[in-house]
Structure 1
Amino acid sequence: MLRLLTSARDALLRCPGPASRSMSTITVTRAAASLPSNLDLTEFHPVATGELFSGRYEALRNLGRGRHSTVWLVRDIRTQKEAAMKVMVASLTDNKRGPDELGILTTLRDGNPQSAGKHHVCQMLDSFVHDGPNGRHICLVLELLGMSVLDLYRSFSGSLPLILVQRVAKHLLRGLQYVHECGVIHTDIKGDNILMTGAGFAEGQSSVDLDITDLFSATYKLTDFGSANRITRQWAADIQPVALRSPEVLIGAPWDTKTDVWNFGCLIYEFARGAVLFDPSWQNEETGMDYTQTHLSQMAGLLGDFPKSFLAKGEKTKVYFDESGHLLRPGAYGITLGDLLARGGHPADELPPAIDFLSRALAIDPEDRWSAAQLLNHPWMENTVEM
Structure 2
Amino acid sequence: MRPRICPAKRLVREILPLCSPRSPLVRRPFYPSPSVRHPFFTPKMIDHLQYTAGVPAEDISRYGPGGYHPIHLGDLLKDGRYRIRDKLGFGSFSTVWLARDDEKQMNVSIKVVVASKSEEHNHELEILERVREKGDPQHPGRKHVSHLLDSFYHEGPNGRHLCLVLELLGPKMSLVAERRPGYRLGGRLAREISAQLLLAVDYIKSCDVAHGDIHMGNILFRLPDSKQVPPAADTCRVGKVSKKDRSPVEKGVPEYVVEPAEYGFQEGQQHLDEIQLVDFGQAFFISCPPKSINTPMSLHPPELVFRHPLTNAVDIWNLGSTTYELVTGRTPFEADFDDRELIPQFQKVLGGVPEQWIRDALGNGVLAEKPDESSADGFLSLEEEIQRSYVNGHDSETLELGEKDLELLGRFLRMMLVVEPEKRATSSELKTHPWVSGKL
Task: Please confirm whether the aligned pair reaches a TM-score higher than 0.5, indicating the same fold.
Answer: yes
Aligned to 1:186: 211
Question: Per the alignment, do residues 191 and 90 of structure 1 end up closer, same or farther by CA in structure 2, a change over 3 Å counting?
Answer: same
Total equivalences in the alignment: 338
Alignment of 1:214 onto 2:271: yes
Question: 1:79, 1:365 → 2: CA distance?
Answer: 48
* CA apart distance, 1:293: 3.2
Partner of 1:319: helix, strand, or coil? Answer: coil
The amino acid across from 2:317 in the alignment is: W
CA–CA distance in 2 between the matches of 1:384 and 1:70? Answer: 40
Residue in 2 aligned with 1:296?
343
CA contact (8 A) 1:196 1:220 kept: yes
Identity of aligned residues (%): 31
Change (3 A) 1:35 1:311: farther
Counterpart CA distance in 2 for 1:315 and 1:140 is: 44
Instruction: Specify the alignment match of 1:255 in structure 2.
Output: 310
SS, match of residue 146 in structure 1:
strand
Residues 1:270 and 2:325 aligned together: yes
1:358 match: 413
Gaps of 5+ in 1: 1-30, 282-289
Shift of 1:348: 2.1
Higher mean alpha-carbon deviation, 38-47 vs 309-318, is at: 309-318
Q: 2:129 aligns with which of 97, 106, 117?
A: 106
In structure 1, what is the equivalent of residue 110 of structure 2? 85
The one-letter code of the counterpart of 2:346 is: M
Letter in 1 for 2:303: E
Maintained 8 Å contact 2:69/2:156: yes
Check conservation: 1:251, 1:315, Cα contact below 8 A. Answer: no
| Contact 1:49–1:61 (8 Å) recurs in 2 | yes
Q: Which amino acid aligns with 1:246?
A: P
Provide the secondary structure at the position in 1 that maps to 2:310.
coil
Q: 1:170 maps to which residue? A: 195
Question: How much does 1:37 deviate?
Answer: 6.3
TM-score using structure 1 length = 0.80
Q: Residues 53, 316 of structure 1: CA spacing in aligned structure 2 closer, same or farther, 3 A cutoff? A: farther
Q: Which amino acid aligns with 1:380?
A: W
Deviation at 1:85, TM superposition (A): 0.4
Residue 89 (structure 1) shift: 0.5
Deviation at 1:136, TM superposition (A): 0.5
User: CA separation in 1, counterparts of 2:368 and 2:425?
Assistant: 25
2:84 and 2:123 map into 1 onto residues whose CA distance is 24
**Residue 329 (structure 1) aligned to one of 357, 366, 372:** 372
AA aligned to 1:121 is V
Give the counterpart of 1:369 among 407, 424, 434: 424
Conserved? CA contact 2:361–2:367, under 8 Å: no
Change (3 A) 1:205 1:243: closer
Structure 2 gap ranges (5+):
1-30, 34-55, 231-260, 392-398
Could you say which residue in structure 2 is the equivalent of 1:45? 69
Q: Is the 8 A contact 2:88 2:262 kept in 1?
A: no
State the SS of the aligned residue for 2:374: coil
Amino acid paired to 2:372: R
Match of 1:230 in 2: 285
Superposed CA deviations along residues 324-353 of structure 1, whole A, max 9, x for unmatched, are: xxx343334251111111121243232110
Match of 1:123 in 2: 147
Q: Report the alpha carbon displacement of residue 184 of structure 1 after superposing the two structures with TM.
A: 1.2
Deviation at 1:358, TM superposition (A): 0.8
Asked whether the 8 Å contact 2:306–2:357 carries over to 1, the reply is: no
Quick one: structure 1 residues 371 and 73, their matched pair in 2 at CA, closer, same or farther if it must change by over 3 Å?
Answer: same
Q: Which amino acid aligns with 1:117?
A: G
**What letter is aligned with 1:119?**
K
TM-score by length of 2: 0.70
- 2:85 pairs with 1:60: yes
Question: What SS does the aligned partner of 1:64 have?
Answer: strand
Q: Distance in 2 between matches of 1:117 and 1:329?
A: 41
Cα distance between partner residues in 2 of 1:271 and 1:316: 38
Match of 1:154 in 2: 178
1:304 and 1:252 map into 2 onto residues whose CA distance is 21
Q: Secondary structure, in 3 states, of the residue corresponding to 2:87?
A: strand
Q: Which amino acid aligns with 2:163?
A: C
Instruction: Report what 1:13 is aligned to.
Output: none
Secondary structure in structure 2 of the residue aligned to 1:259: helix
Please tell me the residue identity of whatever aligns with 2:148: M
Matching of residue 305 in structure 1 with residue 370 in structure 2 = no
Q: Which piece of structure 1 moves more, 354-363 or 365-374? A: 365-374
SS of alignment partner, residue 292 of structure 2? coil
Q: Partners in 2 of 1:37 and 1:88 — Cα distance?
A: 15
SS of the residue aligned with 2:152? strand
Closer, same or farther: CA 313–81 of 1 in aligned 2, 3 Å: farther
| Aligned-partner SS, 2:96 | strand
- Distance (Å, rounded) in 2 between the aligned partners of 1:121 and 1:315: 40
Task: Return the offset for 1:133.
Answer: 0.7
The 3-state SS of whatever aligns with 1:94 is coil
The residue number in structure 2 matching 1:28 is none
Equivalent residue number for residue 15 of structure 1: none
**What is the SS of the residue equivalent to 2:153?**
strand
Root mean square deviation of aligned Cα: 2.7
For 2:50, the equivalent position in structure 1 comes to none
Question: What is the Cα deviation at residue 180 of structure 1?
Answer: 1.4
In the superposition, relative to structure 1, how do residues 339 and 321 fare at CA in structure 2: closer, same or farther (>3 Å)? farther
What is the Cα deviation at residue 126 of structure 1?
0.3
Q: Secondary structure of 1:86's match?
A: strand
Cα distance, 1:378–1:318 mapped onto 2, change above 3 Å: farther
- Partner-residue secondary structure (3-state), 1:367: helix
Deviation at 1:176, TM superposition (A): 0.6
Partner Cα distance (2:363, 2:211) in 1: 23
Q: 1:209 to 1:292 in 2, by over 3 A?
A: closer
Pair 1:102–1:238, CA change in 2 (3 A): closer
